[in-house]
Amino acid sequence: MKPHYASPLLLSFLLLLLLLLLSLTVHTKAEVIALTPDTFSDKVKEKDTAWFVKFCVPWCKHCKNLGSLWEDLGKAMEGEDEIEIGEVDCSTSKPVCTKVDIHSYPTFKLFYDGEEVVKYQGHRDIESLKSFVLEEAEKAAAKAHLDDDKEL
């Protein structure tokens, strides 16, 4: 009996399908990372990483009015290796929100090397948020490196 081999066309199709599936798994990485009491402290303490975090609750109309703004910001920040976009649901992560002094929703704060750097109070659009986080993350990184140099 003669062995049965797959046709070159079928092999090409299967290879293309495999590449497509691999690319989907790479690109479905969450642009916005949900932070909880178990993950918040460790994540925002990551060395040389800025975390821009939205603190909100599901019942807040101002949070709802943001729509997909935070997810859109996460997508816009893809490729910025040392900047992460996170969010905390204060209804389920009350200890985190209490620890970082959250009293109104939504609140946006930037953290660098585990320290709160600044609270955002500007316009709520992608360009304003992105400009803010890029500028403030750069300032925080420069300050951290100066502080590291002083310790040496």
Cis geometry, peptide bond prior to residue 106 (ω within 30 degrees of 0): yes
Which candidate in 56, 63, 90, 97 is catalytic?
63
What does the CA dihedral 45, 141, 116, 96 come to, rounded to 10 degrees? -30
The strand pairing partners of 119, in sequence order, are 109
Among 31, 152, 27, 146, smallest CA distance to 85 is for 31
Examine the residue annotation and report whether 97 is marked as an active-site residue of this protein. Answer: no
* Residue whose pair of structure tokens reads 């930037």 in the numeric block: 110
Examine the residue annotation and report whether 90 is marked as an active-site residue of this protein. Answer: no
Q: Measure Cα distances from 143 to 48, 51, 147 in Å.
A: 11, 16, 6
Which residues are designated catalytic? Answer: 60, 63
